[in-house]
Amino acid sequence: KQVVLLPGDGIGKEVMESAKLVLNTVATEYGHRFAFHEHAIGGDAIDRYGNPLPDDTLKACQQAEAVLLGSVGGKKWDNLPANKRPEKGLLGIRKQLGLFANLRPIKSFPALEHVSPLKQEVISGSDILIIRELTGGLYFGQPSERRENGQAAVDTLYYQRYEIERIVDKAFQSARKRRKHLTSVDKANVLESSRLWREVVEEKRQQYPDVTVDHLLVDAAAMKLVTSPDQFDVMVTENLFGDILSDEASVLTGSLGMLPSASVRSDGVGLYEPVHGSAPDIAGRGMANPIGMILSAAMMLRHSFNMEEEAAEIESAVNDTLNEGYHTADLNREGGKLVGTAEMTEAVIENIT
Amino acid sequence: KQVVLLPGDGIGKEVMESAKLVLNTVATEYGHRFAFHEHAIGGDAIDRYGNPLPDDTLKACQQAEAVLLGSVGGKKWDNLPANKRPEKGLLGIRKQLGLFANLRPIKSFPALEHVSPLKQEVISGSDILIIRELTGGLYFGQPSERRENGQAAVDTLYYQRYEIERIVDKAFQSARKRRKHLTSVDKANVLESSRLWREVVEEKRQQYPDVTVDHLLVDAAAMKLVTSPDQFDVMVTENLFGDILSDEASVLTGSLGMLPSASVRSDGVGLYEPVHGSAPDIAGRGMANPIGMILSAAMMLRHSFNMEEEAAEIESAVNDTLNEGYHTADLNREGGKLVGTAEMTEAVIENIT
Ligand SMILES: CC(C)[C@H](C(=O)O)[C@@H](O)C(=O)O
Ligand SMILES: CC(C)[C@H](C(=O)O)[C@@H](O)C(=O)O
């Protein structure tokens, strides 16, 4: 299996090491072979090649079966012009590879429920999968430019029906494998694109009669995520709403550092990355939480390589490790065993073998 | 003082009665005269006149010094075409009256901190003012239409510099009267309109050197509202981001029914309404929480009529009433005195006189 590794910036490099170690363990245990090809992206690529997404990196990703990404960005590159910034590398890869479906599972770990900013009775039992459309909408719509001598600016929210259909299909299929409930989020009382979105959902639901569906306005969804996160199963929404809601949801459990994500297309090719950022403040100190990256590697095994058993093995090893009391400094947990990146990775590997 | 009352739908009618009683009490105590003119809006206006914003209503609002609105909407009208729906009345009034600044104060009441979905140590001491731009952006940008034979849809996010300047000025001025910190929220790493927004904030801050400023991306803001709501003072943002973030923020204290809002323009004319919706499920049962509406009336006294003392009197009466243990059913509070709309209003009035 050909896997491109893009460690990127800050703690990205450190947690990528953890993913490699875990994948090598799985390879040994199950008799697989993963070939890793490392390339530059983001600020690191700007420093080395003057480009957040070098051609060489893009080409490698286009040939890979899966891409693992650490994290990109940092203050150092914040003042560069928009098209030279680390994030451009990320947006470019998503678009160029056609990775239209961003999967963001948010699940409260029993061992960590008390670190949530929410009361335990509110967060307990929550298990949400947010599916965000990733290659359309305001992120890519044209025109996006200055007008009237720079005294005005315009961005464009544009969706074609087929773009909505494929993400809605993905969402229904995902709901089928879970608790069979889908919440579609839009702003149909204001936006024409949302009304098209809602029409597509209404049409598609005929094909998935076993899945229950409701529509929620994005403002109401932002409220309900806080007041009753346990009421959601799968949520599907357009690019920008998904950006906001999935980040809001990612802090509900109090363990952002634990969360993985996948950005996939229909043939199984995907890019996998932890939800957390590059955390320049703790970079290089060996204290980053590697679990988000390790669980992203598990998602890769499941979605790109169809290795369900291996993925589940990693996930249960992580669970066991948390239950043994291991935690990194970000988890704000009292008692237990406070460890760094390397020991945490070691502990997970112990639980795999 | 000429005040137009738009009770609207559901519990809107009931809480409007409370506002009238409280304002009449203030009038007697302080020797003012308020002339109330009642008009139809929303679903109620659709039923009676076939139009969510009848000309007669619009004209009355255009002549008023202030407008008090109950709430609009309900399942009954959900399947009407977009331009005939209750919300159109609300959007129409905002735009026609040029009410560009939506002020949403969110403050945790000590007597109610335990009803928050957040842990007490997270929510305690929070006191945020969200200022949302209300007449621009995706809500009103053109084109907003179907394309390619209905197989695609487009909406337009458009801002002119002067629209950003006036809302940013309002935000700096508001911050000056509070704790002198402003957080400007945008998505400048993706949107051209956000880059213009950020430029304007950077320019304007020169005129307000006593106010500290930071910029936050909308996805990060959605996270930080949950993890550290007490870190915000004034937040300013464009229309749709403001819609989402202010609703997210409104549930943090657990007492949505308590929250007021104001939509104002530069000359002091404004529209005041509670944050809660029309709550059809409890409408007509005399159990709605009138405090959001009563505090909206207080905002009217402050912002449209410059009656700071009278506004503060209402606010402290509400505080006293809560401290006496009065609460309505929505507050999920144990012990104390569970009351309906009328008794709650009576208790607040007792504390004014
Ligand atoms: C870096 C940024 C452009 C990106 C986005 O908004 O998509 C990020 O916030 C994310 O969610 O992956
Ligand atoms: C009813 C709707 C159009 C409106 C909006 O989105 O502005 C509402 O959500 C609000 O925030 O007042």
Q: Shortest CB distance from A195 goes to which of B82, B147, B195?
A: B82
**A282 CA to centre of own chain:** 21
Q: Which of A20, A187, A233, A272 is catalytic?
A: A187
Q: How many CA atoms lie within 13 A of B30 on its CB side?
A: 19
Residues within a 6 A CB radius of ligand 2: A 189-190, 219; B 87, 90-91, 243
Indicate yes or no: CB of B148 within 8 angstroms of CB of A159. Answer: no
Ordered domains of chain A (ranges, CATH): 1-107+259-353 (3.40.718.10), 127-251 (3.40.718.10)
Q: What is the pLDDT of residue B85?
A: 83
Query: For A56-113, how does the pLDDT look when each residue is reduced to its tens digit (9 = 90+)?
Result: 999 999 999 999 999 999 888 888 887 788 888 889 999 999 999 999 999 988 888 8
Q: What is the pLDDT of residue A88?
A: 84
Indicate yes or no: CB of B226 within 8 angstroms of CB of A159. Answer: no
Closest ligand to the CA of B134:
2
Q: What is the pLDDT of residue A87?
A: 83
- Mean predicted confidence (pLDDT) in A307-314: 98
Q: Which residues from B are below 8 Å from A261, CB to CB? A: none
Q: What is the pLDDT of residue A79?
A: 81
SS3 A11: coil
Alpha carbons A291 and A276: distance in angstroms, whole number: 10
Q: What is the pLDDT of residue B152?
A: 98
Q: What is the pLDDT of residue B82?
A: 75
Query: For A115-173, how does the pLDDT look when each residue is reduced to its tens digit (9 = 90+)?
Result: 999 999 999 999 999 999 999 999 999 999 999 999 999 999 999 999 999 999 999 99
Q: What is the pLDDT of residue A330?
A: 92
A226 lines ligand 1 (CB under 6 A): no
Q: What is the pLDDT of residue B265?
A: 97
B190 lines ligand 1 (CB under 6 A): yes
Which residue has better confidence, A114 or B47?
B47
Alpha carbons B41 and A41: distance in angstroms, whole number: 54
Q: Which residues from A are below 8 Å from B250, CB to CB? A: 223
Beta strand residue intervals within chain A, DSSP E: 2-8, 35-38, 66-71, 101-107, 127-133, 141-147, 152-160, 181-186, 212-217, 234-237, 260-264, 270-274, 326-327, 337-338
Rounded mean pLDDT of chain B? Answer: 96
Q: Is B310 annotated as a binding residue?
A: no
Indicate yes or no: CB of B222 within 8 angstroms of CB of A226. Answer: no
Query: For A185-209, how does the pLDDT look when each residue is reduced to its tens digit (9 = 90+)?
Result: 999 999 999 999 999 999 999 999 9
Q: Which residues contact B185 (CB under 8 A, 6 or more apart)?
A: B215, B216, B217, B218, B221, B235, B236, B237, B241, B245
Query: B126 with B248: CB under 8 angstroms?
Result: no
Decide: pTM greater than 0.75: yes
- Mean predicted confidence (pLDDT) in A312-338: 93
Query: For B245-273, how does the pLDDT look when each residue is reduced to its tens digit (9 = 90+)?
Result: 999 999 999 989 999 999 999 999 999 99
Q: Does B160 touch chain A (CB under 8 A)?
A: yes
Query: For A161-183, how does the pLDDT look when each residue is reduced to its tens digit (9 = 90+)?
Result: 999 999 999 999 999 999 999 99
Determine whether B139 is an active site residue.
Answer: yes
Q: What is the identity of the amino acid at A344?
A: M
Q: What is the pLDDT of residue B335?
A: 84
Query: For B194-224, how does the pLDDT look when each residue is reduced to its tens digit (9 = 90+)?
Result: 999 999 999 999 999 999 999 999 999 999 9
Give A123 to chain B, closest Cα distance, Å.
9
Q: Which of ligand 1's atoms lies nearest the C-alpha of A247?
A: 11
Query: For B299-340, how does the pLDDT look when each residue is reduced to its tens digit (9 = 90+)?
Result: 999 999 999 999 999 999 999 999 999 999 998 778 899 999
Indicate yes or no: CB of B192 within 8 angstroms of CB of A226. Answer: no
Query: For B24-83, how does the pLDDT look when each residue is reduced to its tens digit (9 = 90+)?
Result: 999 999 999 999 999 999 999 999 999 999 999 999 999 999 999 999 998 888 888 877
Q: What is the identity of the amino acid at A333?
A: R
**Would you say how long chain A is, in residues?**
353
A169 lines ligand 1 (CB under 6 A): no
- Residue B113 pLDDT grade (very low, low, confident, very high; cuts 50, 70, 90): confident
Closest-CA residue, ligand 2 atom 5, reads: B243
Q: What is the pLDDT of residue A296?
A: 98
Rounded mean pLDDT of chain A? Answer: 96
Query: For A14-43, how does the pLDDT look when each residue is reduced to its tens digit (9 = 90+)?
Result: 999 999 999 999 999 999 999 999 999 999
- Residue B114 pLDDT grade (very low, low, confident, very high; cuts 50, 70, 90): confident
